[in-house]
Amino acid sequence: MSQKNIIGRKYEIAQLQGCLDSGESELVVVYGRRRVGKTFLVNEFFDNHFDFKLTGVFNEPTKVQLGRFAASMDEYSGTHSEAPENWFKAFDALKMYLKSLHKKRKIVFIDEMPWLDTTNSGFVPALEAFWNGWAAAQRDIVLIACGSATSWMTDKLLGDKGGLFNRSSVRLFVQPFTLHETELYLKSKGIDWTRYDIAECYMIMGGIPFYLKQLNAKWSFSQNIDNMFFRKNAVLWDEFDHLYHSLFKQADAHIAIVEALAKKKMGLTRLEIAKETKVPINGKLSKFLRNLEINGFVLPYQFFGKKKQETIYQLSDFYSMFYFAYIKENYGKDEHFWTNGLDNPSRSAWAGFTFEQLCKNHLEQIKRKLGIAGVLTETSSWFSKIKDDSDKGEKQKRGAQIDLLIDRRDRVINLCEIKFSINDYMIDADYEKALRNKIDAFKRETATKKSVQLTMITTYGVKKNKYSNRVQSEVVLNDLFEE
């Protein structure tokens, strides 16, 4: 099988190869966020050599979908047939066609499967009957079921309701590129940027291959961002609405939640989300949050020492964060918006927060740099209940906020300070005092008996001076680019 054009995806490739070599019939479920490269992965691995391939059509009725099935059947079988009456007839036709092939392995690829399952279509029962009633017992069928609507894929194919539960051989959740994979991809396109620029690119696009594909090697980073997002009729000018409406049936409710989270960088509880969006705090809200979570748009996390019921939800999709921060209100107003705003103070605030999210997406790299890759850990955030009130003198206890805590089984807690800077980060007297207050507040309020170590995560490291000795470990941007 072909792998020459695939960047990264080593685990996925190994799993697909295992299914190809198994000598059994295999049901492979490939899912993940829209634009993440699922279809490309399958097409490239199998070198586009399929015995049958069908792609669902967005927002079209069953009649249209069955017509596309007939067209695909004609293409692969070399015969002409009328569109089947229903999905049971369609899968019967597929069964008879596959029976006629004399091959060691018969590869069937059904892409954008959720779009085939229109209202009252009967698609899922027909698929179950095809797989459970025939294909699974044949020992030569590899069926790849692929889709971007991750909630549909998990509920209908991987969930515990229906005849396909526990029938999949392999579940491949295709994730965005890491920084390492993003760098490899850009180099494959002839783009040789600094890692600072690559990191800032990641904070806009989140390692989504389709977005990265739009970059032009002849232009600077800023020129590319203007061209992709801010010029009139830019290639991604309508991406936001299309992204959410193609994934979620009740897209407006999901967008309302995402927009509420975009306004609160530290995130919101379920109760706070319900208050902000007017979505009732019941099963619907839970479903919407779950949909956003499994599609990679929202990250649930805990505050250190608090109960699970107090889960905080934070917007984690980089493109969505960038959309609400800049695109929504500025599209079409200035075609050079990004280039002209290089010195805008809001840019530093955006970069600082988004770099924190980038670090959370590369926890494995951080743990390796700290030498704790094999140590069981839990990550969380924390804030002090005591508010900062500097007007009441030095004796007033100051509040504190810690964006990333790594709580280790070896009885150590890494308190991580994350700073995005264009130069070495300098700790001055005021910041050193703030760090001391923060560590003291954390120890006092949590009453932890573990050792607390201060870790700085920065772009280029901490500048050595008389205040930098408080830092016990460092992680720099280059460390996040490790494989």
Strand stretches in 122-273, DSSP E: 141-147, 170-173
Instruction: Name all contacts of 339-345 with Cβ < 8 Å and 24+ positions apart.
Output: 339/222, 339/223, 339/225, 339/226, 342/222
Cβ neighbours of 361 (radius 10 Å): 21
CA distance 202 to 354: 9
The pLDDT of residue 162:
65
Give the model's confidence band at 394: pLDDT under 50 very low, under 70 low, under 90 confident, else very high. very low
The DSSP secondary structure of 260-297, one letter per residue, reads HHHT-TT-B-HHHHHHHH---TTHHHHHHHHHHHHTTS
Q: How many helices (H) and strands (E) does the chain have?
A: 22, 12
The pLDDT of residue 391:
43
The residue to which tokens 């203007």 are assigned: 226
Mean pLDDT computed over every residue of the chain: 91
Residue 477: name the closest of 322, 319, 362, 347 by CA: 362
Residue 482: name the closest of 316, 366, 377 by CA: 366
Residue 337: name the closest of 222, 199, 179 by CA: 222
Going by the DSSP 8-state scheme, the letter that residue 326 receives in this structure is I
Integer angstrom CA distances of residue 259 from 75, 189, 436: 44, 34, 35
The answer to whether residue 158 scores a pLDDT higher than 50 is: yes
CA distance 70 to 302: 50
Going by the DSSP 8-state scheme, the letter that residue 154 receives in this structure is I
Give the model's confidence band at 161: pLDDT under 50 very low, under 70 low, under 90 confident, else very high. low
Burial code of 133-168, b = ≥16 C-beta within 10 A, e = fewer? ebbbeeebbbbbbbbbbbbbbbbbbbeeeeebeeeb
389 in helix, strand or coil?
coil
CA distance 255 to 258: 5
Integer angstrom CA distances of residue 303 from 14, 191, 383, 450: 37, 40, 8, 17
Give the model's confidence band at 427: pLDDT under 50 very low, under 70 low, under 90 confident, else very high. very high
Residue 290: name the closest of 158, 155, 380 by CA: 155
List CB contacts of 465: < 8 A, sequence separation 6 or more. 426, 427
Model pLDDT for residues 110-150, shown as the tens digit of each residue: 999 999 999 999 999 999 999 999 999 999 999 999 999 88
Kindly tell me the burial class for residue 353, based on how many C-beta atoms sit within 10 Å of its own C-beta (0-12, 13-18, 19 or more): middle
C-alpha of 375 from chain center: 25
Give me the amino acid identity at 250: Q
Cβ atoms of 107 and 50 within 8 Å: the answer is yes
Angular region, 482: left φ>0, alpha ψ -120 to 50, beta rest: beta
Going by the DSSP 8-state scheme, the letter that residue 407 receives in this structure is E
Higher pLDDT, 185 or 295: 185
Q: What is the mean pLDDT of residues 76-102?
A: 95
Least confident of 43-57, 130-144, 205-219, 326-340: 326-340
Give the model's confidence band at 285: pLDDT under 50 very low, under 70 low, under 90 confident, else very high. very high
Q: What is the mean pLDDT of residues 441-445?
A: 92
CA distance 104 to 154: 30
The DSSP secondary structure of 440-478, one letter per residue, reads HHHHHHH---SEEEEEEEESS-BPPSTTGGG--EEEEHH
36 in helix, strand or coil?
coil
The answer to whether residue 390 scores a pLDDT higher than 70 is: no
> Residue 49 is encoded by which pair of tokens?
């050599």
Query: For the chain, what's the residue count?
Result: 483
Model pLDDT for residues 300-326, shown as the tens digit of each residue: 988 787 655 578 899 999 999 999 999
Cβ atoms of 445 and 400 within 8 Å: the answer is no
Calculate what percentage of the chain has a pLDDT beyond 70: 95
Give me the amino acid identity at 85: E
Q: Which domains does the chain have, with CATH numbers?
A: 10-173 (3.40.50.300), 179-237+331-354 (no CATH), 240-322 (1.10.10.10), 362-480 (3.40.1350)
Give me the amino acid identity at 15: Q
This prediction's pTM: 0.91
Radius of gyration of the chain (CA): 25
Cβ neighbours of 446 (radius 10 Å): 16
Kindly tell me the burial class for residue 376, based on how many C-beta atoms sit within 10 Å of its own C-beta (0-12, 13-18, 19 or more): exposed
Cβ atoms of 212 and 8 within 8 Å: the answer is no
